[in-house]
């Protein structure tokens, strides 16, 4: 079978880079976009044959050009991983600047819409089309002071389920992945900030932060990537329209 042709948004850092590494290791031909040009260059040096392009998924004209170029250079598309997203501000809804709300929706939700809209014609020509949307534990629970982020992550679940119904007749499977607290520099900064504010140790803040999980560990980005590879493989050929948590069995926020 020919290698999968995979496009990953925000693929140069964090979960996105883990996704690129995992699909590359599986033998796929991989293209990524990101707003971080330096990180794209590092990823290209690490992963031979990786296709890269600077693109902000919140920029509608840029998205159309990016997807067209990726499909042309990869020779089509079999898998789209909508990974791009921003966290937005942390404050009560009544205190939100409307421009912050608009920015989160533009990237997390409308950006996913635009990338997917342009990718669907290419995926319909594939005999093994797959779309994965990166939701979050915030797409399962309410998140105080994170209304735009949580709203978009819930919306992505509805979008995935709707697309699964719309595209099933073309053999395209659509699922959403919902990571919990993910290991990495961002999580470490969060725990450091909490420790400074509370006077507790970083380890104590981690214990408190993981108290709502059955498994007391942060999620490894590589595990999220392996889940994505599985869902895009023939082993996942009967899975569509699902929200799949990977969060250490998180019970609440």
- Assess contact for 253 and 142: CB atoms under 8 A: yes
Catalytic: 149? yes
- Assess contact for 247 and 179: CB atoms under 8 A: yes
Catalytic residue among 149, 181, 218, 245: 149
- Assess contact for 224 and 81: CB atoms under 8 A: no
In terms of Cα–Cα distance, which of 130, 142, 177, 134 is closest to 26? 130
**Is 31 exposed, middle or buried (CB count within 10 Å of its CB: 0-12, 13-18, 19+)?**
buried
What's the gap between Cα 50 and its chain centre? 18
Active site residues: 149
């Amino acid at each position: 079978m020919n290698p999968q042709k995979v496009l990953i948004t925000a693929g140069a850092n964090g979960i996105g880079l883990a996704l690129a590494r995992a699909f590359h290791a599986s033998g796929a031909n991989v293209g990524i976009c990101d707003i971080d040009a330096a990180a794209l260059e590092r990823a290209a040096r690490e992963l031979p044959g990786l296709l890269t392009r600077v693109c902000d998924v919140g920029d509608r004209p840029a998205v159309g050009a990016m997807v067209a170029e990726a499909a042309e250079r990869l020779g089509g598309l079999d898998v789209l991983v909508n990974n791009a997203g921003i966290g937005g501000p942390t404050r009560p809804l009544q205190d939100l600047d409307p421009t912050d709300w608009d920015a989160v929706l533009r990237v997390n939700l409308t950006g996913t819409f635009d990338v997917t809209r342009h990718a669907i014609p290419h995926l319909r020509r594939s005999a093994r089309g797959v779309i994965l949307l990166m939701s979050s534990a915030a797409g399962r629970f309410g998140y105080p002071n994170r209304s735009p982020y949580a709203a978009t992550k819930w919306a992505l679940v509805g979008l995935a389920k709707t697309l699964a119904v719309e595209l099933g007749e073309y053999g395209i499977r659509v699922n959403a992945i919902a990571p919990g607290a993910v290991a990495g520099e961002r999580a470490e900064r969060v725990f450091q900030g909490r420790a400074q504010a509370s006077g507790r140790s970083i380890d104590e803040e981690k214990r408190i932060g993981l108290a709502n999980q059955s498994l007391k560990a942060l999620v490894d980005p590589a595990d999220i990537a392996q889940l994505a590879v599985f869902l895009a493989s023939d082993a996942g050929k009967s899975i569509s329209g699902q929200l799949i948590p990977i969060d250490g069995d998180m019970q609440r926020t």
